[in-house]
Amino acid sequence: MSLKCPVCGKLKKDPVDCARHMFGTGDKPHKAWFEAQGLSYIDLLLSQATEPGNKAYIEVGGLIAKAQQG
């Protein structure tokens, strides 16, 4: 399921890929999106970095997908 980045509109192949792009870009507008969702960019990033699995990307990807479906 391809998705558009909610900030810059870049087309990504699936929700996780889109989340990875958002974390990876990490500039002010992308970080602001996290804040607007009530999320901590840095906490999610570091949980992704230090914990096994792909939890933060999956969580953020899910939110992006849900928002776009809505």
By CB under 8 A, name the binding residues for other proteins: 17, 20-21, 23-24, 26-28, 41-42, 45-46, 48-49, 54
> Residues near 10 by Cβ (< 8 Å), separated by ≥ 6?
4, 21
Identity of the residue, 51 or 70, whose beta carbon is nearer to other proteins in the bound complex: 51
Q: Tell me, what amino acid is at 54? A: N
Identity of the residue, 35 or 66, whose beta carbon is nearer to other proteins in the bound complex: 35
**Least distance to other proteins, CB of residue 30, Å:** 11
Identity of the residue, 14 or 66, whose beta carbon is nearer to other proteins in the bound complex: 14
Tell me the C-alpha distance between 13 and 37, whole Å. 22
Three-class secondary structure of residue 58 per DSSP: helix
**Least distance to other proteins, CB of residue 64, Å:** 16
Residue 3's CB is within 10 A of a number of other CB atoms, namely 22
